[in-house]
Each structure stands twice: as C-alpha cells, then as structure tokens.
Structure 1
Amino acid sequence: MSENNQDRRRAARERLQRERELEKRREKRRRTLIVASAVVGVLGLAAVVGLIAANAGKDGGGTDAGPVVAPAGAEGEEQLAIPVGAPDAPSTLTVWEDFRCPACAAFENTLRDTIHDMTEQGQLKVEYRLATIIDGNLGGNGSKRAANAAACAQDAGHFAAYHDVLFEDQPPEIDDAYADNDKLIELAGKVEGLDTPAFRRCVQDGTYSAWVNESNQAFQDGGFRGTPTVLLNGESIFPQKGDEQISVENFKKWVAEANEGKQPGTEAPASPTRSPSPADTGSPAPTGS
C-alpha cells in the first residue's frame, strides 16, 4: 500500500472519528434540552400566558365588596404572605403561585419534598403569595376560589398540606374545576382535621376573596411576568439562576451557597392567629365571585 493511500485512509478515519464525536456532543445537547424541556419547557409558555393575563385580566377574576381580611398568621406588607418554616431561617424563598397554573404544579411536584426538607431543617423559610392570572386570561374563578380556600386552610393551621393537595390534584388549565366550592371542600378531606364547619363556611362565604384580589394586584404591581415567580433572598431562580437551569440539585446548591456560614433557624413558627372576620364584627361576609 502506497504512503499516499495510508495517509488518505488515516485522514478518513480521523475525519470519521471527529464526526462521531461531534454527533455525540449534538446528541448530548439534544438529551439535555429534552430533559430541561420536561421540567421548564412549559414555563416559557406559562410566562407568556401569565404576561397576557396580567395585561388582559387586571381584576384577576372580579372584585369583592367588603373589608380586606387577612388569613391567620399572614405576614409582610399588607399581610399578603403566608409563611412556612422557622422565622429565623437564614434564607427566604418567595413563591408567587396560581392554583390553576400548570407550571406551578410542575415546580411544586419537582421540588416539593426538597423544600419541605429544608423548611423542617431550618435552612429555609417560605413565603407563599397567591395570584389569579389564569382567571384573568382564560376566564372563570377557579384561581381565586382555590386561593380563598387555601387562606381558609391557613386559619386552621393546614395551609401547607392543603396547598400541596391543590397542586397534586390540579385539573387541566382550561378546566375551571376549582371554581366549584364543593370540589375544594372535597379535597380538604385529604388533609386530616381540615374539613370542619368553620372551613366549609369560610370557603362558601369567600371570606378571603378580597384579600386574594389584593394579593393578585400586588403581583401585577410587582411587574412579574408569570407564575410561578420564585425568588431566593430576592433573586429570581426560576426557571433559571444565571446560566443554570433550576433542578433539585441546583436548588440545593443555591440554598447551600446562600446559607454558607449561617446557622439554621431554630425558632418555632408562630401558631396562626386569625384576624377578626366580618362574622366576628357582625358585618356581612364578602361574597366570592
């Protein structure tokens, strides 16, 4: 075999090897995109839907007459945040969610156990804030009625568990099933001790509908583009932080970095103390719309 033929064959083998390596890299990128899309691909759509809703559905599902009554233990400016975890935890996770939002369910179903573990270990305090942008975009009242029911669950000390049930059993986005108070009460049966006459009355009366509207207005005023909006110590981490996509592993890393050199929180969460309701003052309860 001539030296020229050997050189040509060697060059062909090297070219084939380079092409195979290039194809491997392409396939790796493709798989990475597929995995990322499974977790966050829907988030881009949700952000667009959320933006449309924020622009088209300013009232988030209607207005409610009567005083704005905050649920038990609500914190922050205008008492619009529902806290979970040790008050002295070194980091705070702020989560804006809509109970009809499929991307919110994807976030919760992926990171729920991790967030629960971190709150129980005192690494993280979570402030849940509720929005109703899907109602504003697609019509209906399911976002608002579910948020009202979650606030009623907060009165009973069962917000976190009921919040999880609402996302685990979330209907399709276009199905306004949560507009049915009976459905919300039925789901309360999955949380031990929640389905009581007081909870049912709170749900049926729409006790916190005006508060939910205030919360949704705060979401719109904040300039957020969609739900879920997730902030770690005020910095957005969803669907990514910098160049890194959110995942269980990255979330753990980000919290560890934020907490470096800090002690876990040890203070017990305060027992919810319900604000005076219209029923307490003799005023008529606001009617949910």
Structure 2
Amino acid sequence: MSEKNRDGKRTARERLVVEREKQKTAEKRRRALIVGASVVCVLGLAAVIGVVAANAGKDKKSSKAGPVVAPSGAQGRDSLAIPVGKDGAPSTLTVWEDFRCPACRAFEAAYRPTLHELADSGKLRIDYHLVRLIDGNLGGSGSLRAANAAACAQDAGKFRDYHDVLYANQPEETDDAFGDDAKLIALAGKVNGLDTPAFRKCVKDGTHNSWVDKSHKAFQAGGYGGTPTVLFGGRNIYQDRTMTPAKLKQMVEEAGKG
C-alpha cells in the first residue's frame, strides 16, 4: 500500500472520529434541551428530604380548617376563579398556579406584558385558580399563605398588582419564605393602598385558607399534571413548546374576530 493511500485512510478515520464526537455532543445538547423545556412543577414530585424536614411543622397553624370564604368578586364553579379583565371579553384564559412554583414565575415573566395588554384592551379575561402544590411536595405553607394573601388583595381590588409583586419577589422553591405573614405584608407595601388593617387581619387570620384548599382539590380532581396549567379553548397551551406571547396574542385576536 502506498504512503499516499495510508495517509488517506488515516485521514478518513480521523474525520469519522471527529464526526462521531460531534454527533455525541449534539445528542447530549438535544437531551439537555428536552429536559430543560420539560421543567414544570409536577404533581407527585419526589420531596427533598432535607427540605421537608426543615419545613416540618411550619404549616400547622395554616392547616386548621375554617369556613370556605371566597374572595370578593370570585367567579366560576364554586367561586374558585379570580378574574382579571372584563366579563364581556370574547376570550378567556384559565391559569392554575402556585406562587412557590418557579415554572409559574417563568410563565408570568414571559407572558405578563401580553396578558396585561390583552386584558386591558378588553380582548381577554384571565381566570386565576390558586393551588398549594409545592407545600405538598416540599413541606411548609408558603403556597397556601401566599394564595390566601393574594385572595385578601382581591378583596381590596388589588389582586393583579399584588399577584405580580409576589412573582417578582418569589423565593427559591425550597425556601418557605412566603409561609411568613410578615413577609407577605411587607410585600403589600409595594402595592399602593394595599397595606391596610383589613388586609393585615385577612392575612394573619388566614381568612381564605379553606377556599385555597378547595381550589387545590378542584385542581387535583381535574387531573392536571402540574403548574402552571394554562388553558385556552380547553387546551393546555403551556404544554405547546411552539407557543409564544405573540402567538397567544394572535390566537386571542383571531378568536375575537370570530
């Protein structure tokens, strides 16, 4: 065999090795993207033992049963939805969310400007349903207490603003900071006119705790896989990886024309 032929075969083998390495790298990247895109606060998530131990007992006060008191203006079946937008809007978006859920925060950060625009223009109404999924997964009471506080803000006509403040100040998922009433009241100071004696009493008394629990049971009964669950036209658009704020806006506007 000539030296030239040996060099050619060696070069071919080297190219093959390089190509295989590229394919392996691409496959690893593809898998990472799939895993990253699938991040969601899922029902049945295995609890982190250390976190559960740290949060054990923190929710005893919050778990006391009381009468189911729906917040002012709540609508829908069993008055479990807090509406944002006009009642006569041609389209409705239904959102099941948990204030401790990182995926919910990511959804809000990406879609908030579009949702505000569509709601303010009368094209879309958003029905928010509050659940306490992370409390069950990791222990603590931050999901419940934050949801109760948001319902108290609804009583004051300040739900949307306080809702946005909670997500803007969301602690780490394993940090039950929202289980502290003082923290929730302090955040109310970021919403003009919300920090009142009535709001503070509502938060400390857990006025809407049983209502939040009822909402969570409805979430479970609905068979939803996790939070956020975002329904438009009966379809969970959060699971559609091609969905974008612009695409949602187009869907809402087309529905309005129909």
Q: Is the 8 A contact 2:44 2:137 kept in 1?
A: no
Instruction: Give RMSD over aligned pairs.
Output: 2.7
Q: 2:253 aligns with which of 253, 256, 266?
A: 256
Contact 1:51-1:225 within 8 A present in 2 as well: no
Shift of the 124–31 alpha-carbon distance from structure 1 to 2, 3 Å rule, reads farther
Per-residue deviation, 1:236 = 1.2
For 1:229, the equivalent position in structure 2 comes to 229
CA 85–37 in structure 1, closer or farther in 2 if over 3 Å, else same = farther
Q: Which AA in structure 2 matches 1:254? A: M
Distance between the aligned counterparts of 1:261 and 1:250, measured in 2?
Answer: 16
The answer on whether the counterparts of 2:141 and 2:176 sit within 8 Å (CA) in structure 1 is yes
After TM superposition, the structure 1 = structure 2 runs for residues 155-170 of structure 1, keeping only pairs within 5 Å, are 155-170=155-170
| Separation in 2, partners of 1:76, 1:105 | 24
- Contact preservation (8 Å) 2:91, 2:256: no
The alpha carbon displacement at 1:197 in A equals 0.6
Give CA-to-partner distance per residue, 1:150-190, whole Å, 9 cap, x none: 00000000000000010111000000000000000000000
- Deviations along 1:215-263, whole A, 9 cap, x unmatched? 11111111101000000122210121xxx52222222233233x1524x
Report the counterpart of residue 106 of structure 1 in structure 2.
106
CA distance in 2, matches of 1:157, 1:260: 27
Q: How has the CA–CA distance of structure 1 residues 73 and 260 changed in structure 2, closer, same or farther, with 3 Å as cutoff?
A: closer
Q: Which structure has more RCO (C-alpha within 8 Å, separation ≥ 6)?
A: 1
Distance 1:219 1:35 in 2: 28
Report if the CA contact (8 A) 2:90-2:256 is conserved: no
CA distance in 1, matches of 2:34, 2:65: 44
The one-character-per-residue Cα deviations of 1:190-211 (angstroms, maximum 9, x if unpaired) are 0000000100010011011111
Q: Which amino acid aligns with 1:261?
A: K
The structural deviation recorded for 1:118 is: 0.4
Q: Does 1:196 align with 2:192?
A: no
Q: Does 1:52 align with 2:49?
A: no
SS at match of 1:199: helix
Shift in Å, 1:41: 4.0
The code of the aligned residue for 2:209 comes to S
- Which residue identity lines up with residue 246 of structure 2 in the other structure? E
Quote the sequence identity (%): 54
What SS does the corresponding residue of 2:66 show, helix, strand or coil? Answer: coil
What is aligned with 2:52? none
1:58-78 CA-to-partner distances (Å, cap 9, x unmatched) read xxx674323111100000111
What one-letter code is carried by the residue in structure 2 that aligns with 1:156? A
Residue in structure 2 matched with residue 279 of structure 1 by the alignment = none
Which residue is equivalent to 2:238? Answer: 238
In the TM superposition, what is the alpha-carbon distance from 1:139 to its structure 2 partner?
Answer: 0.3
* Aligned pair partner of 2:244 in 247, 267, 284: 247
**In structure 1, the residue corresponding to 2:140 is in which secondary structure?**
coil
State how far apart, in whole Å, the 2-side matches of 1:64 and 1:214 are. Answer: 13
TM-score normalised by structure 2 residue count: 0.79
Distance 1:205 1:260, change over 3 A: closer
Contact residue 91 and residue 124 of structure 2 kept, 8 A: yes
Matches within 5 A, 1:119-130: 119-130=119-130
Per the normalisation by structure 1, the TM-score is 0.71
Distance 1:246 1:34 in 2: 20
SS for the counterpart of 1:52 is: coil
Partner of 2:115: 115
Unaligned runs of 5+ in 1: 1-15, 54-60, 263-289
Q: CA deviation at 1:35?
A: 7.8
8 Å contact kept, 1:86–1:122:
yes
One-letter code of the match for 2:132? T
Distance verdict in 2 for CA 1:248–1:30, change over 3 Å: farther
Which residue of structure 1 lines up, in the alignment, with residue 8 of structure 2? none
Secondary structure of the structure 2 residue equivalent to 1:224: coil
Q: Distance in 1 between matches of 2:63 and 2:152?
A: 19
SS state of the match for residue 195, structure 1? Answer: coil
Aligned residue identity for 2:257: G
Query: Do the aligned partners of 1:63 and 1:213 also contact (CA within 8 Å) in 2?
Result: no
Structural mapping, 1:137-148, within 5 Å: 137-148=137-148
In structure 2, list runs of 5 or more residues that go unmatched.
Answer: 1-14, 47-58
Counterpart secondary structure, 1:245:
coil
Alignment partner of 1:114: what SS? Answer: helix
Q: C-alpha displacement at 1:123, in angstroms?
A: 1.1
Q: Secondary structure at the match of 1:68?
A: coil
